[in-house]
Amino acid sequence: MRLKVNAKTHEVNVEDDMPLLWVLRDELGITGPKYGCGIAMCGACTVHVDGGAVRSCSLRVGDVSGEVTTIEGLGSPEAMHAVQAAWVEHQVAQCGYCQSGQIMAAASLLMVNGEPTDEDIDRTMSANLCRCGTYPRIRAAVKAAAAKLRERRS
Amino acid sequence: MSRAGKIARRTFLIGSAAVAGGVAFGIYAYKRTPTNPLLRNLGDGQAALTPYVRLDQSGVTIITPRADVGQGAYSVQAALVAEELDLPWEQIKVDPGPPSAAYYNGKVLAEGLPFAATDNGPLARNARVLGDVGGKFLGLQITGGSSTVPDAYEKLRVAGAVAREVLLLAAARQTGIAKADLRTRNGAVVTPDGRSLSYASLAATAAQIDPPATATLKPESEWRYLGKSMRRIDMVAKCTGTAVFGIDLRMPGMVYATVRTNPRLGGGMKNHDPSAAAASKGVLKIVPITAGVGVIADNTWRAFKAANVIKFDWGPAPYPPTTAAMFETVGTSFVPARQDSRFKNEGNIEAALTGTGVIEAEYKVPYLAHAPLEPMNAVVQLKDGRLDIWTGTQIPMFMMAMAASMTGLRAENIHLHAQMSGGSFGARLEDDYVRQAIELAKAFPGPPIKMTWTREEDMTHDFPRPLAMARMRGAVKDGHVDAYDLSIACPSVTASQLGRQNLSIPGPDVAIVAGAWDQPFKIPNYRVTGYRVPELVPVSSWRSVGASGNGFLHDGFLDELIHAAGADPLKERLRLCWHEPSRKVLEAVGEMSSWGSDPGKDRGRGIAFTLSFGVPAAEVVEVTNTPHGIRIDKVFVAVEVGRVLDPKNFDNQVRGGVIWGLGHAMNAELTHADGIAQQTNYHAFEAMRLYQVPLIEVRALTNTNEVRGIGEPTVPPAAPALANAIFAATGKRIRELPLNKHIDFV
């Protein structure tokens, strides 16, 4: 089957019920999305399908109907997305294992809600687990990224 | 020049024996210097200036032997070396290096000593020096016990200074200019006429020079990195998906695997039927391993899927099958035959606790899983008489010994490549997952095999923080705490963990009473007794180890006694506390939280204090008793760490520790039925999520000269501060964790 990931089309030969996560990681070598729980409880595998955040560990690749964006496609070390830049600025990461998913969740939130309230941030970002406890910095970084994106638009 | 400025040979006296040298000197001062492990694998034109600095035509690589499990160890180790070496921050490259006795940890044994961190008497000091020497001779390259910074603080700066000396000597030799006229700046040696010789260009000459035994450290006033918030060297990679964790490794010809072993730990496998799995798509081989099987496939998910259809007949657990039965064993362990320690015994506790007015209580804490977000994994390749292991580990030397014994290979044919870990919290102080991967490699030699545990395998095979019970008695007199008798019954983490490395501990296990017996309080009649419960489920070190539960046990009941005395919780702790740096942290959280002011309707404030890993930590938690449950509004935390090497990373670690402590206290436990852990994934083992995170205000005090680590010490006081706040807000005293067994949280 054909799968468009980060603006590149791949031909993959896998069964329909393989979760998107494992197609990305083991078949395509795109390892930014992480395996944490396999049951959509931790959010470490979060990617975008047509801009919306999905849990790639629980999405059958056969059910993927749009273009997939992973953390690698959001921005690069040389050209970071505003959310990534805010994450670096606030030194959010500790172990960093959850942060690909956190950043993808935040980027998706800011696409649909440019001025999220504290409650909006809490509601959306609570679906992503961080065992290190970087939550206070995540809150701050989401707000900073939102402000930066608003500034760019105006 | 600062006190530690000039490093000179020194002699420590231990009893009647003199041991030359010391950690302050770097490894060169020891008579039997461990070999610089970098010398073994040097390429053409490479120089190993110290075990921590490798130099070649592409520049300097700093060796960072302590594992980075999220605490920022790579950055702080690099900063210590780079500060002295005058290396530009952007040029820093790190490599965890090979396992080696040269990278022994001289501070990690100190926590196991029966001397309180506040004890500066001669016996305690000598014991700490012996701990350092022991660490050296055991070749203990261990990451843990919040010891990375205390161990590295001087050692790595000296390594950087020695390397700088070598580079100056090399430049002098290359240019003919006297060394005294040369300076280092931004990764280069600068001549008086302004020429700049990059370190890389000096590599070949530097390789010919013997490193000097002495080096002068920079005065603090010239520090550019230490004491400042530096961008962590792994930050951009971790925010762009380009950081490579062990689980992300990819190699040509790699195959993928998982394992299933008996979730009744130690129970063994009676029988299994792999026929359905063998026919499953992508499966290459099904391999029997200790207590289970491994499935090797062409994709991790295919391995998971195949493993799911294997039918197993597991053996019974070698421990009582239910949590209730295990707590029964704990409850019957408060007997003289199981007494392990009584390090604190002041006044006359029996006399003070006769007659009426004795207050009694029983407290409980549960098993807790480490559950780092990256499940345990390893890549192992056994090929042509050579074994390669790629994994995140805090115990590389133990792992090397294990691999040698499993394969019969000599150490020089075993290569351990340390990887970045997605959390650990103590989980990577174990090597069971690597043992399994090596078993797979022996059965399937040739290609690299990436073995990944499912989350369910990880949760049900974790060696958890032990459960524990405490029985307390106490008395108050004239409005003050007069007697406190604390008995703690707990399995021995140290015996369990070292036992898996075929080591044993002589004498008592300090971890059973850590964070309880060693608290800096003067109570007229005060006794702390540890009882060693026979091992039930195998147990291990979990962020803050013994103190993780004992903070709640010790401070929770202290709070009860203070309330019984009718005293103010802060004022009475201050009155009882004899240790000035600890008093200062208590005073600090008092001030930060406006202690004594009215918290408002349905609100309460709780304070707790634990000294662990040498760090006094005090926390005040403010809660609101809402109609739907308890909401944690604010936390104030003050700690004494001697020195803050990176304020931002420090702040992140402190908040992380508070959130870890609060979150697990709120809702996390590992319970057992039929010998199996019942919490198999994060739906049942959550700790704190973002919406529950309170405002956290942090203050670092630096009133002492003891440089301390901060990864763990803020965990122990979090649970009691929360329980004490709930009591203040509701009048309900909860004596068991997790607290949500007795009260709801919003």
Q: Does residue A138 share a domain with residue A99?
A: yes
| Whole-number Cα distances in Å, B487 to B146, B461, B541 | 26, 30, 21
Q: How far is B419 from chain A (nearest CA, A)?
A: 12
Q: Are B175 and B311 in a shared domain?
A: no
- d(CA B712, CA B13) in angstroms, rounded, equals 31
B730 vs B624: CA distance, rounded Å: 9
User: Cα–Cα distance between B140 and B623 in angstroms, integer?
Assistant: 43
* Domain match, B648 and B558 both: yes
pLDDT in tens, B534-582: 999 999 999 999 999 999 999 999 999 999 999 999 999 999 999 999 9
pLDDT digits (tens, 9 = 90+) for B428-476: 999 999 999 999 999 999 999 999 999 999 999 999 999 999 999 999 9
Domain boundary among A22, A39, A73: A73
**Is B221 contained in some domain?**
yes
Please tell me if residue B690 touches chain A, with a CB cutoff of 8 Å: yes
Instruction: For residues A35 and A86, state if they share a domain.
Output: no
Most confident of B13-27, B91-105, B505-519, B618-632: B618-632
B421 φψ region: left (φ > 0), alpha (ψ -120 to 50), beta (else): beta
Contact A72 B242 (CB under 8 A): yes
Disruptive mutation site among B239, B376, B453 for chain A (greatest number of A CBs within 10 Å): B239
In this prediction, residues B307-327 reach a mean pLDDT of: 98
pLDDT for residue B133: 66
Pair B54, B203 in one domain: yes
Range of the domain at B523: 323-368+464-741
Residues A25 and A52 in one domain: yes
Is B239 close to A93, i.e. CB distance below 8 A? yes
Lateral strand order in the sheet of B449-452: B283-289, B292-297, B255-261, B449-452, B377-383, B386-391, B414-418
Domain membership flag for residue B1: no
Q: Do B46 and B205 meet the contact criterion of CB atoms below 8 Å apart?
A: no
Average pLDDT, chain B: 92
Q: What is the pLDDT of residue B34?
A: 65
Pinpoint the alpha helices (H) of B207-279: 235-239, 275-278
Q: Cα–Cα distances in Å, from B617 out to A102, A154, B145, B523, B639?
A: 30, 46, 15, 19, 4
Residues B393, B521, single domain; the answer is no
Number of H helices, E strands in chain A: 6, 5
For residue A129, which residues of chain B lie inside 8 Å, CB to CB? Answer: 373, 682, 686, 689
Q: Are B413 and B561 members of one domain? A: no
| pLDDT score of B213 | 80
> Are A62 and A80 members of one domain?
no
Q: Are residues B285 and B427 in the same domain?
A: yes
What pLDDT is recorded for position B153? 94
Tokens of A15: 């069964």
Q: Is residue B5 part of a domain?
A: no
Please report which confidence band the pLDDT of residue B410 belongs to, taking 50, 70 and 90 as the band edges.
very high
Residue B32 — very low, low, confident or very high, per pLDDT cuts 50/70/90?
A: very low
Residues A56 and A86 occupy one common structural domain: no
Query: What pLDDT score was predicted for residue B138?
Result: 66
Same domain, A69 and A80: no
Considering the domain boundaries, does residue B746 fall inside one? Answer: no
pLDDT digit string, tens, across residues B656-678: 999 999 999 999 999 999 999 99
Q: Please indicate, yes or no, whether residues A62 and A50 belong to a single structural domain of this protein.
A: yes
Name residue, tokens 């603006």: A7
What is the CATH classification number for the domain harbouring B87? Answer: 3.30.365.10
Within this chain, do residues B539 and B617 fall inside the same structural domain, yes or no? yes
Q: pLDDT for B128-156, tens place per residue?
A: 776 776 676 666 888 988 899 999 999 99
Same domain, residue pair A86 and A101: yes
> Mutate which of A131, A134, A137 to test chain B, going by most B C-beta atoms within 10 A?
A131
Q: What is the ipTM of this complex?
A: 0.98
pLDDT at B20: 25
The two three-digit tokens of residue B228, written as one number: 């400042």
Cα–Cα dist A137/B652, whole Å: 8
Number of domains in chain A: 2
Comparing alpha-carbon positions, the chain B residue that sits nearest to A74 is B240
Which tens digit of pLDDT belongs to each residue from B189-230? 999 999 999 999 999 899 889 888 878 999 999 999 999 999
Q: Does pLDDT of B11 surpass 70?
A: no
Instruction: Nearest by CB to A136, from B72, B660, B696: name it.
Output: B696
Under an 8 A CB cutoff, do A88 and B683 touch?
no
- The Cα B215–Cα B225 span in angstroms is 19
Q: Are residues B519 and B482 in the same domain?
A: yes
What would the pLDDT profile of A58-116 be if each residue is shown by its tens digit? Answer: 999 999 999 999 999 999 999 999 999 999 999 999 999 999 999 999 999 999 999 99
- Residue % of chain B over a pLDDT of 70: 94
Which of B189, B224, B239 corresponds to the end of one domain?
Answer: B239
CATH number for the domain that contains residue A63: 3.10.20.30
Last residue of a domain, one of B388, B421, B452: B452
Nearest to A136 among B372, B373, B655 (CB): B655
Cβ within 8 Å of residue B233, ≥6 positions away: B74, B75, B78, B92, B94
**Region B722-732: what's the mean pLDDT?**
98
Measured CA distances, B163 to B52, B82, B89, B184, B225 (Å)? 9, 10, 17, 11, 18
pLDDT bin (cut points 50, 70, 90) of residue B266 is very high
**Listed residues A47, A73, A99: the one ending a domain:** A73
Same domain flag for A58 and A43: yes
Residue B712 and residue B663 share a domain: yes
Q: Is residue B3 part of a domain?
A: no
Q: Are residues B489 and B442 in the same domain?
A: no
Are A80 and A69 within one domain?
no
Give pLDDT, residue B28: 34
Q: Same domain, yes or no, for A68 and A96?
A: no
Counting the structural domains of chain B, the total is 3
- Per the structure, the complete domain to which residue A134 belongs is given by 75-153
A34/B374 touch (CB, cutoff 8 Å), yes or no: yes
Same domain, B332 and B309: no
Per-residue model confidence (pLDDT) at position A15: 97
Distances in whole angstroms, Cα of residue B530 to Cα of each of B109, B344, B368, B505, B517: 20, 10, 20, 16, 9
The residue among B198, B222, B239 that closes a domain is B239
Residues A48, A111, single domain; the answer is no
B385 and B350 co-located in one domain: no
Element (H, E) at B76: helix B73-85
- Angle at B416 (CA atoms; ends B410, B420), nearest 5 degrees: 170
